[in-house]
Structure 1
Amino acid sequence: MTAEHQRLRDTHCHSVPWKKWGPYLSDRQWGTVREDYSATGEAWDYFSHEQSHARAYRWGEDGLLGISDEKQRLCFSLALWNGNDPVLKERLFGLTGNQGNHGEDVKEYYFYLDSTPTHSYLKALYKYPQAEYPYGWLVAENQQRGRHAPEFELLDTGVFAGDRYFDVFVEYAKASSDDILIQISVVNRGPETKTLHVLPHLWFRNTWSWDENSEQPKIKVAAHHFGYSTLAAQHPELGIYWLHCQSHENWTKPSDRLLFTENETNYLKLFGVENSTPYTKDAFHRYLLENDATAVNPNGWGTKAAAHYTLNMAAGATQTIRLRLSSAESQADPFADFEGLMQTRIQEADAFYDKIAPFCKFSDSRNVQRQAFAGLLWSKQYYRFNVKRWLEGDPTMPEPAAGHQFGRNRQWPHLDADDIISMPDKWEYPWFAAWDLAFHCIPLAVIDPDFAKHQLDIMTREWYMHPNGQIPAYEWAFGDVNPPVHAWATWRVYKIEQKQKGTGDRAFLERVFQKLLLNFTWWVNRKDVEGSNVFEGGFLGLDNIGVFDRSAPLPTGGYIEQSDGTSWMAMYCLNMLTIALELARENPVYEDMATKFFEHFIYIADAMNHIGSDKTELWDEEDGFFYDVLHLPNSDRLKLKVRSMVGLIPLFAVETLEPDLLEKFPGFKERLEWFETHYSELSHNVASFIEEGVGKRRLLAIVHPDKLQRILTKMLDESEFLAPNGIRALSRYHLDHPYTFYTDGTEHRVDYEPAESSTGLFGGNSNWRGPIWFPVNYLLVESLQKFHHYLGDSYQVECPARSGTYKSLWEVALDLEDRMIRIFLKDGAGKRPVFGGTEPFQRDVHWKDYLLFHEYFHGDNGAGIGASHQTGWTGLVAKLIQQYSQYASR
């Protein structure tokens, strides 16, 4: 057992709280819904980046590569100033959804390089230009560009030309759960001597301004010693923490190098209203950039403090700053054992990941996997949001604008979040998203099953889940509908842990299953308009994939019978059936539940393949593909013949039943056979659950093997879905054959668009009309493996289509895994597809091995697009590398 595995065990047993401190700061708190108290819900405009320097947050804190305790009471992060910028670099900058030509977009270069699950070791890198950061230019240039133009990036401005930038590495290592070593290493990559101001920040989240008689914490000077100075941070709940700041050559008078202010809004600056204190959140900016010595508290205390280091750096030089944050008041030199402890934690992190991925033998693959895991772990965030309190406002504050209480999320007053949650991307999506979260949990379960289980559990708890059974979607609209993948993720996490430990957590499985019964009922009651087992659901996370906005009233009237919505529900049935049979091993009551979900699946599968007449089938016999069907007010139905992921999602609804399982549950087996005898017409177009396959297994699937062959002919065609790096969300067929639909003289159109979206649907910041998306590709891999489990090696398909090469479905799945992984790996020319034509990332030694895990990828060349740090579901590559390496090594 490695040292990190022991820490995980200590955490599990509640003997040592190793996860008390972690990278729980948001990367962006401004511009979020929870900080928006406007009447119109314009979150981007209500709390801007410009205001964030001087305005206290209500619900959370952000910072640059920082950490906090698990309730975000005390926070630590960096602030930097290159002597040219108009503001301190305290947080990451990016364009709002209203500013970017493709929606919100972070305009910084930062990389999560390493983390253990308990955050006993953390490492990250921020690249800081030495020239003035071009805030205004980035906004102006992107605003004048249209949706068909590429985004204007920070590298495009030339501020990194000639390597004129600083690499700022930040490392954290825990000596104990409450004793954290902090090392900041700065490298001047440029050709000239440059000065950098580094201000490590320690501050309390403002929890005292919103309620009367709240006790205010305090940070003050504790002592000045030879070689270091100490701050004491006292909090009524957290107790006392000491921050030891190692002296630097510029500290001729240490007392002048410790700065203090309050984490309070500068009302005078922002709103023209008198401040309650002269020491406000923006004090260090005013002190350093405006030479205002009165901005900081001369008495040496406040709720926000910083140590000020001025680094005069020769070309190519490296300088290091060391600090130590501890709950124990040290009587000895706190830096005496610093180097030894830091190296020990690095070695322990290496040992942990060597144990996790012993089959991953190639250094480049290991680097990709390690950074993917790091991105997942760094993307944890403390998420606090009490919707009822947010709607009503705080007693010490002015009432929210009229209309605020009737705006977004008003139907969710019960939601009261107060947890560490895995975020899709802590800058572009600094809030949980239900279906994203399900995919995060698969790679997270490989390294920390307890955390993965907790994520799935809390989404079904009564302070998250709506009383009607709906799982909240995401902060912008909790009532939106995400694909129901929670049961799938629950089962997969259960099985991953069972494989690791030899036993699964049945209490977790049963607890989540019980809550998912409520959610399943919500789906059946709310999203099947005619009770025909054909489901709608709206956009279902696929944003602009359809010819219409599927979450808005249709221009034709009526509604869409969704191939994907119905398939997701069929998959949901099979996931619940599988869980029920597992639970029935110890409690026979669940056998009846398995039968219930089996029967519901059969009804849905029949509806998918045959509703009543040829015109109403979701399956198109002529094309050999599934399509959405437009249900018009006059009851006419029209197939929307867009070849998209919507028609591939039916493949996800597949499960095999082992013969020993059927023997263990004779009642369930008898019901299957009775159903086949008495309702054979329902299973006529469905993969037979009676006919035995390889190993006498039974198959439950929407797609019959004959239909599977026809679908795969398109899916594995390089002129349609099959791309060099995965399966496209839309067939390339629509490049030359756009789908058009006319109503009331208006053309509605779908073209193949392999990169950014040309429409504004859902903010225009994601695109399902051609790019490669990891979550659905991952499910395709799993589905092919399940079909192979039943059909065996004798069932062969041409891959790629028309190539003359035939492969089993297992081999096709491995081929897809390989294509997805190769997005991040160096090719024969030493280039990574993920970086596209961005030259520094492809060639520069100080860029090329630092990975970004984007939201989705170019459908033709694999270049990363969308949110640059959405390691959440793109972190699935870590799991893919593990399983691909394991199979390849056999």
Structure 2
Amino acid sequence: MSDAINWAERRRIAEQARGERSWSLWGPYLAERQWGTVREDYSRDGNAWRSLTHDDARSRAYRWGEDGLAGICDERGQLCLALALWNGRDPILKERLFGLTNEQGNHGEDVKEHYHYLDAVPSHAYLKYLYRYPQAAYPYEDLVRESLQRSRNDPEYEIDDTGVFDGDRFFDVIVEYAKADVDDIHVIISATNRGPDAADLHLIPQLWFRNTWSWRENSPRPQLALHAEGGIACEHHRLGRYRLAFEGEPDVLFCQNETNLHRHAGQPEVEGAFKDGLHAAIVDGQYTAIRRDAGTKLGLHYTVRLEPSETKRIRLRLSAGMRTRTLDMDGIVCDRCVAEADAYYDDLQDGIADPDARSIFRQAAAGLIWSKQLYAYDVQVWLKGDPLQPVPPRERDSGRNTHWHHFAASEVLSMPDKWEYPWFAAWDLAFHCLPLALLDPDFAKKQLLLLTREWYMHPNGQLPAYEWEFSDANPPVHAWATYRVFEIDRARRGGRGDLAFLEGVFHKLLINFTWWVNRKDAGGRNVFQGGFLGLDNVGVFDRSRPPPGFGMVHQADGTAWMAMYALNMMRIALELAVHNDVYESTASKFFEHFLLIAEAMTDMGGEGFGLWDEDDEFYYDEVDIPGAGLVPLRVRSMVGLVPFFAVEVIEPSVLQRLPDFARRLNWLLENRPHLARLVSRWDEGGVEDRKLLSLLRGHRMKALLRRMLDEAEFLSPFGVRSLSKAHRDRPYALNEFGASFTVRYDPADSTSNMFGGNSNWRGPVWMPMNYLIIEALRRFHTYYGDDFLVEYPTGSGVMHTLAAIADALQDRLIALFSKDEVGCRPFLGDRLPFREAAGAEEALLFHEFFDGDTGRGLGASHQTGWTSLIVNLLYDRAKLRL
């Protein structure tokens, strides 16, 4: 293989990072659901799911973005390209993915489609997407009706359950994008009939401009039009000129990307070809709804007849300028891009010998790249409304995000996924950046910097949580992610660390840390609150809104997250201090703050009690109940394991290079011995005289590990559960003020209505928390070494080092996606893979969380965001075993 192919993708990533060539100009930035989002909600009651529904989406213009099937767009979302389909039986054109709203799903919102991200590279020079389309009518009504009838205790009603895929009567439709240049994109759409009989399929590639002209006066209107020399001319005042070439002789249909005023405004007299014109023409035969010469939305209507197992292809080419472009009929560009993608992943996966592991790695990486999305949302404009539109209801002045007038985003962000979570989430994004740092470190660093920029971060220092409520608090993992990305990037760059990046984020996080201290330590005791902190229904009640009569909740996880945050900030300050000694005193400040938090967890404000329960030897939240005092909430959950994450090991060389920091540490530990005893054996150096900072001395750590590694409690065959299995037979109940609150172990979907029932921290395995556990184990091992042994699993009588236990947990997580001894993948549960059913290419999914007993994938089915940490686990395992 030539050097040009071997290093092509690395070269593109480097060119992008240096600002030499904009390979990021086009990418998979198109949302998969713009309907049902907060930013499109202009309702009086703030119910986003009802404000703009899936049924509305085909005929109402969006204000802030666009959505489509297997789509791409430019980085400003001005021109969009996606696929639409019709099988001749569906009541609507298949232009976007369908799923249940939060109110319709018995376990919350849920996409009801079969689609997969098969391949992608960071520059988007090659992208591959698979959509599986039934040949029978899509069961929209059946999915909604049956799901509404099911209770929280019933399994979700999935599209496979409807029978629509029985007999393999479906089409595999693959969309591939291959870049000849930054603004020259070849498109291949391949359709294969997997069924036993010949079948017709309508393929409708769509090209359209995002509607930016219906909101303000004198906004320029772009145009798509037939070009005299063939193809479609695209003209936009900012993007410039593009041309779409296509093969064959499809029916060329134009309409306007504008709201159908007949359907949504009761104005039948208004003439026009509206957003749903393609649907009206192709499905309903109403050709008066389209234009033949120009518009702002285009559909190229191909009809193909496919015999069983037959594949047919159509080719397009979207390129800048107006000159005539030939199509890649021989697939030369696509084949070259595939070879370059293979070479890129071969280099990245060096050391991963197992073909199955390589496939898992590559598809997880593809899902992460495909989950990039343009996120546009200006809160002040959203609250005020647009000049050419009705004034928003005044109720929104006291609704969500009203304290975030400064927030004005218009950037490509890494999304948890683009259907169930088509918006950023701060702590999800922090986890995404670790695999992104392996794939494209410059993009990972820019993502972490972005959330600290002044148009995201609140003036008071808070980071925005997520679109549904920016003011919620996510766990403060930004500093941890920043340093880990710095380390990964440094290793990839041959030991050269990006100090400018590290310093840039650090300065903003100083403000954020202060916000936490001032806003989330209500009692001034270094014991922190924060509400549900991303763990949704883990508590006895919603910790963000305690029931009437309850006082303040002192949170074990909130306080431990802050201890971890202090150590993370200390670590960054130490790194910077090696190059600039002004940071030594800052490192000392965070070391001291960590000690104070550790003290508070053991003895809150000198009151003689803390968050560690001596009887159960576990950390619990405590709630202040008038007349009863502080009552421990004895739920053995992930909340009590978070203190394990607050651990740091200091090398002797650091203390030697930073004498002022060393002197301050020694003074504190000598003159405040009660603090020293709480957190570590500072006077007892570990392996190679390393120093340990942790909330857990040896006994407490072993006590937590005893429960965490017990298969009757936290340890599942596929990682660490979020709730002890002991609560299956012994649910925890709190009875106060005439009400009863209960927590029971649920290994799979939530049976609680809390948070809409679409998330469950009461038993399943969550990848990000397991990743932090593994990291903490490895860090403890660098201090304790091979002589420190722990029983694993608990009760087995077999002793292991902490590093060996970390390896074992890592293997359990990887096993979620790996073939077992009979060739099945646990994440599938009892579902048959399509490969066995139809000979189709095997495609994987990376779910939000996993059944605590069986490993079956649950929650958002395409939540490749933080579950893509499987990339790091596979990468790290390979490096450790070399």
1:848, CA displacement in angstroms? 7.6
Name the counterpart of 2:661: 668
Q: Match for residue 13 of structure 1?
A: 18
Q: Which residue of 2 aligns with 1:212?
A: 217
Partner AA of 2:422 in structure 1? P
Matched, 1:491 2:483: yes
2:64: which partner in 1? 59
Q: Aligned pair 1:416/2:411, yes or no?
A: no
Q: Which residue in 2 is equivalent to 1:353?
A: 345
Give 1:529 deviation, angstroms: 1.2
CA–CA separation in structure 1 for the residues paired with 2:868 and 2:402: 33
1:788 aligns with 2:781: yes
Cα 1:258/1:699, change in 2 over 3 Å? same
Distance 1:840 1:138 in 2: 21
Paired position in structure 2 for 1:45:
50
- Counterparts in 2 of 1:502-513, with a 5 A limit? 502-513=495-506
Q: Which residue of the other structure, out of 75, 81, 92, is the alignment partner of 1:76?
A: 81
Q: Tell me, yes or no, if structure 1 residue 827 matches structure 2 residue 820.
A: yes
Task: Pick the aligned partner of 1:479 from 440, 463, 471.
Answer: 471
Partner of 1:291: 285
Asked if the contact 1:835/1:841 (under 8 Å) is kept, the reply is no
Amino acid at match of 2:264: L
Q: Measured at CA, do residues 732 and 685 of structure 1 come closer, stay the same or move farther in structure 2, by a change above 3 Å? A: same
| Residue number among 588, 599, 606 corresponding to 2:581 in the alignment | 588
Structure 1 partner of 2:331: 339
SS in 2 for 1:844: helix
Question: 1:155 — aligned with what?
Answer: 160
Question: Residues of 2 paired with 1:70 and 1:843: CA distance?
Answer: 39
In structure 2, how many angstroms separate the alpha carbons of the residues matched to 1:628 and 1:246? 64
Deviations 1:125-161 (A, max 9, x none): 0000000001011001001111110100000000000
- Gapped regions of structure 1 (runs ≥ 5): none
Which residue in 2 is equivalent to 1:800?
793
Query: Matched residues in 1 for 2:43 and 2:570: separation?
Result: 45
Report the aligned-residue RMSD: 1.3
Q: Give how far 1:830 is off.
A: 0.5
Q: Distance in 2 between matches of 1:872 and 1:667?
A: 41
In 1, Cα distance between equivalents of 2:283 and 2:269: 21
**Which amino acid in structure 2 is aligned with residue 195 of structure 1?**
D
Distance in 1 separating the partners of 2:24 and 2:243: 19
1:683-762 equivalences in 2 (<5 Å): 683-762=676-755
Q: C-alpha displacement at 1:614, in angstroms?
A: 8.4
Q: 1:522 offset after TM fit, Å?
A: 0.4
SS at match of 2:782: helix
The residue identity in structure 2 corresponding to 1:239 is G
Distance 2:550 2:267 in 1: 51
* Aligned residue in 2 for 1:186: 191
Hey, what does 1:32 align to over in structure 2? Answer: 37
Is the CA contact 2:691–2:783 (under 8 Å) kept in the aligned structure 1? yes
1:381–1:426 contact (8 Å) kept in structure 2: yes
Whole-angstrom distance in 2 between the partners of 1:87 and 1:231: 26
Query: Is the Cα–Cα contact under 8 Å of residues 217 and 234 in structure 1 kept in the other structure?
Result: yes
Cα displacement string for residues 463-483 of structure 1 (whole angstroms, at most 9, x for unaligned residues): 000111000000000000000
Aligned residue for 2:244?
243
What residue is the counterpart of 2:760 in the other structure?
767
Q: 2:246·2:327 contact (CA, 8 Å) conserved in 1?
A: no
| Distance in 2 between residues matched to 1:696 and 1:634, nearest whole Å | 50
- Select 2:388's aligned residue among 389, 396, 418: 396
Identify which of 435, 450, 453 aligns with 1:443.
435
* CA offsets 1:209-233 (integer angstroms, 9 cap, x no match): 1110011000000146xxxx41011
Counterpart for residue 116 of structure 2: 111
The offset of 1:612, in angstroms, is 6.0
Q: Distance in 2 between matches of 1:321 and 1:763?
A: 43
The offset of 1:634, in angstroms, is 4.8
CA drift at 1:274:
4.7
Cα distance change on mapping 1:106 and 1:135 into 2, 3 Å? same
| SS of equivalent to 2:787 | coil
Displacement after TM superposition at 1:275 (Å): 6.8
The residue identity in structure 1 corresponding to 2:27 is: G
Does structure 1 conserve the Cα–Cα contact (< 8 Å) formed by 2:241 and 2:320? yes
CA pair 367-64 structure 1, distance change in 2 beyond 3 A: same
> Aligned letter for 2:59?
A
Q: Tell whether the 8 Å contact from 2:833 to 2:842 is kept in structure 1 after alignment.
A: no
- What CA distance in whole angstroms lies between the structure 2 residues aligned with 1:402 and 1:772? 42
What is the TM-score with the length of structure 2 in the denominator?
0.98
Displacement after TM superposition at 1:622 (Å): 1.6
Q: What residue number does 2:541 align with? A: 548
* Aligned position for 1:377: 369
- The answer for the alignment partner of 2:232 in structure 1 is 231
Equivalent-residue separation in structure 1 for 2:835 and 2:477 (angstroms): 36
Deviation readout 1:764-790 (Å, 9 max, x if unpaired): 101000000011100000000000000
Is the partner of 1:488 in helix, strand or coil? helix
Distance 1:434 1:612 in 2: 31
2 CA distance for matches of 1:506 and 1:772? 35
Q: Does the alignment pair 1:609 with 2:610?
A: no
- Tell me the residue number matched to 2:643: 650
* 1:728-771 CA-partner distances (Å, limit 9, x unpaired): 00000101110000012211000000001111211210100000
Q: Could you say what secondary structure the match of 1:685 adopts? A: helix
Structure 2: where are the runs of 5+ without partners?
1-5
Aligned-partner Cα distance in 1 for 2:669–2:739: 48
2:258 alignment partner in structure 1: 264
Number of the residue aligned with 1:859 = 852
SS at match of 2:537: coil
One-letter amino acid of the counterpart of residue 365, structure 1? A
Q: What letter matches 1:832 in structure 2?
A: R
The answer for the alignment partner of 1:130 in structure 2 is 135
**Alignment of 1:387 onto 2:379:** yes
String of CA shifts for 1:638-673, please: whole Å, max 9, x gaps.
111110001110000000000000000111111111
Q: What is the TM-score of this pair, normalised by structure 1?
A: 0.97
Give the Cα separation in 1 of the matches to 2:835 and 2:745: 27
Alpha-carbon separation, structure 1, partners of 2:349 and 2:477: 26
Report the CA distance between 1:635 and its aligned residue. 7.5
Q: Is the 8 A contact 1:616 1:637 kept in 2?
A: no
Q: Which amino acid aligns with 2:258?
A: E
Aligned partners of 1:845 and 1:774: how far apart in 2? 31
1:427 aligns with 2:428: no
Of 249, 253, 273 in structure 1, the residue corresponding to residue 267 of structure 2 is: 273
In structure 2, relative to structure 1, the CA distance for the partners of 1:332 and 1:491 (3 Å cut) is closer
Counterpart in 1 of 2:3? none
| Residue 566 (str. 1) matches residue 559 (str. 2) | yes
Q: Which moved more, 1:635-644 or 1:861-870?
A: 635-644
1:613 CA drift (Å): 7.2
Tell me if the contact between 1:830 and 1:842 (Cα under 8 Å) persists in the aligned partners.
no
Identity value in percent: 53
Distance in 2, matches of 1:470 and 1:345, equals: 42
| Match among 165, 176, 183 for residue 181 of structure 2 | 176
How big is the shift at 1:617? Answer: 1.7
Return the alpha-carbon distance in structure 2 between the equivalents of residues 622 and 843 of structure 1.
52
CA distance in 2, matches of 1:114, 1:220: 32
TM-superposed CA distance for 1:43, in Å, is 0.4
Corresponding residue SS for 1:707: helix
Letter in 2 for 1:641: R
Deviation, structure 1 residue 271: 2.8
Distance in 1, Cα, partners of 2:468 & 2:79: 27
Change (3 A) 1:757 1:848: farther
8 A contact 2:194–2:838 mirrored in 1: no
Displacement of 1:841: 4.9
